[in-house]
Chain A
Amino acid sequence: MRPENYEAQRQPPSHEYELNIGPNHPGIEGNYAFKLRLHGDRVLEGKADAGYLHRGFEKLMEGRLWIQNLAITPRICVPDPVPMEVSYCLAVEELCGLEIPERAQWLRVLQLELSRIAAHLFTFGGHAATTGMYSPMFWGIADRDLVLDLFEELTGGRVYHIYNIPGGVRRDAPDGFLDRVRSTLDYLDSRLPDYDNLLFTNQVFVHRAKGVGTMSREQALEWGVTGPNLRATGLEFDVRRDDPYLVYDDLDFDIPTEEAGDAWARTLVRRKELVQSIRIARQVIAALPSIAGPIRCPIPNPLAWNVPAGSVYTRVESSKGELAWYVVSNGGERPYRTHVRGPSQMHAVQVLEKLSVGCRLEDVAQTMFSLDACPPEVDR
């Protein structure tokens, strides 16, 4: 925050002006600045400016034991922390050649889908708030809290669970937990018509969101767009189905798509994914009681754990898109290098800069939120 970076530059007279949005603003789930050059209310150029949430996690992880790093991984993306934990654990397991027990895999899937539901509820609310509708935001946050209650019961933590460890999960589901998950899912299901009335068929929202931040499928592929943003351009691709991990092969779910590629289509894809995530979570609840066995495989002493040398690239589908870890071990008790590839590293930087050109000032925040960008993933 040095003043020279924010001082107005003396410019020759013109009708153009500059506007700094951020680092605190309603368009994004964290601190992130977006510098605009405008003519009237039309955006001529947008420049993303990250770094307000840089915590040096990749460097920190090189200095800590494999097991200690678990406390760092969920903090990389606050609204959707579980995929971070799971993909890091998958990487360590692949390096060690560990076979995860089936029950742990199902528990992980349950967690992943609950986390996706929570993240999507958060995004709807935020997206609605950028168009001036605050009720969906309160509703979304309130319903997300019910999912966080389930996480608290299962893991002890509401946001940062640190529930997965290499080899499995930390503890089994408590008695009656699955019934409580079921009743929460039933409740969320019953809320969907309310959401439709409030937001998804609300003409104020539909008119505001349609045609904003439109990209074609070719552009999306060119710019490295993944996840719901890519599916909103009509490409039916999901890491869970096309590069499966855990037990997603055994689960029955659809991959919703939309054709338009604008903010409205992206929101609709997330709305339909919510239904699919509830469907997957119900399958897990039905299957879990019949799957006996341990919840983790035997692991070496975690405080003196030398992971075999090698490198591995593991991908999962987070609520925002393709999430991957590149983990390198030199056979020591600490990772030699860890690199996280978050979907927002594309969405919040290049894609946002390109989509904001020609957009109106009041739609900039909406474009940001419709991409579901998460600045902590960019900064790490």
Chain B
Amino acid sequence: MTKDLSTWLDTLLDELQGIEVRRKSSRRIRVDVQPDALPALLELLRGRASYVHLSAISCVDWIEENEFELVYHVWSYEIGSLVSAHTRIARDPGVYISVYDIYTPAAFFERDIHEMFGVFFEGSPDMSKFILTEWDGPPPMRKDFDSEAWVNAHFDFQDYQPDWLKEIEAKGGGVAVRPDEQRFSRRDVDAS
């Protein structure tokens, strides 16, 4: 059974035009594919070669090429290999098609990528905020988002002043409370 399925995979990858296949090891295969052919590739991998488990969808922001790279990692329980399908979409407007109809787990990853990178997936069941519920800035995982600059622009800092320490020391120390100010001190116990 396992052998049959892997021959299925080889014929399948030969049949498809315009994809580049690279075997990285016995259980890792890298496929580079055009964005319009990726859903068809995933459908064939799932339907004909038993790649039923979508392990993850990763997004990489290649800002110099002005592109987002989407990587779909799919695993076959029967063949025992992991196919990573890489595709690149334009950074602007950053819209792509959902694969939720092929893999149910895609809903979480697409929602996450939408939130963190601003890529909109058409046809995904829920594109609302999930982790960054109260965030109204730009998508933070993009390379042009500078966390430090954002913090400096939106939050106030209080400079540390060594004088504070002197003031505290002048009052008789840090957090320690003087015995006569303690509500339940040993002194009361001894007095009674």
Q: Does A2 lie within 8 Å of B131, measured CB to CB?
A: no
Give how many A-B residue pairs fall within 8 Å (CB-CB). Answer: 83
* Cβ–Cβ contact B60 & A346, under 8 A: no
Taking the complex as formed, is A240 at the interface, i.e. its CB lies under 8 A from any CB of chain B?
no
Contact A243 B55 (CB under 8 A): no
Contacting B at CB under 8 A, from A303-350, are: 311, 313, 315, 322, 324, 326, 328, 336-337, 339, 341, 345-346, 349-350
B53–A242 CB distance below 8 A: no
Q: Chain A contacts of B131 at CB under 8 A?
A: 50-51, 54, 378-379
Over the window 97-127 of chain B, the binary record of Cβ atoms lying under 8 Å from chain A Cβ atoms (1 yes, 0 no) is 0000001110111001000100000000000
CB-CB contacts below 8 Å: A222-261 with B:
222-224, 226, 235, 237, 242-243
- Chain A residues packing against B (C-beta within 8 Å): 2, 5, 49-51, 54, 56, 58-59, 63, 221-224, 226, 235, 237, 242-243, 311, 313, 315, 322, 324, 326, 328, 336-337, 339, 341, 345-346, 349-350, 378-379
Set of chain A residues within 8 Å of B77, measured between Cβ atoms? 221, 235, 237, 242
B55 contacts A315, C-beta separation under 8 Å:
yes
The reply to whether the CB of B35 lies closer than 8 angstroms to some CB of chain A is no
Q: Which residues of B lie under 8 Å from residue A339 when comparing CB positions?
A: 56, 58-59
Query: Which residues of chain B come closer than 8 Å to A315, judged between CB atoms?
Result: 55, 82
If A51-B133, A322-B55 touch, does A222 touch B84 (CB 8 Å cutoff)? no
Residues of chain B lying within 8 A (CB to CB) of residue A324: 55-56, 73
Closest Cβ of chain A: how far from B11's Cβ, in Å?
A: 24
Q: Is the pair B107, A243 in contact by a Cβ cutoff of 8 Å?
A: no
The 6 closest A-B CB pairs, nearest first, are: A224-B105, A341-B56, A326-B58, A51-B131, A339-B58, A337-B60
Residue contact A5 to B147, C-beta cutoff 8 Å: no
Subset of 29 A-B contacts with CB under 8 Å: A5-B133, A50-B131, A51-B131, A51-B133, A54-B131, A56-B140, A56-B147, A58-B141, A221-B52, A222-B104, A224-B53, A224-B103, A235-B77, A242-B80, A243-B27, A243-B80, A313-B82, A326-B56, A337-B60, A337-B61, A339-B58, A339-B59, A341-B55, A341-B56, A341-B73, A345-B112, A350-B104, A350-B108, A379-B131
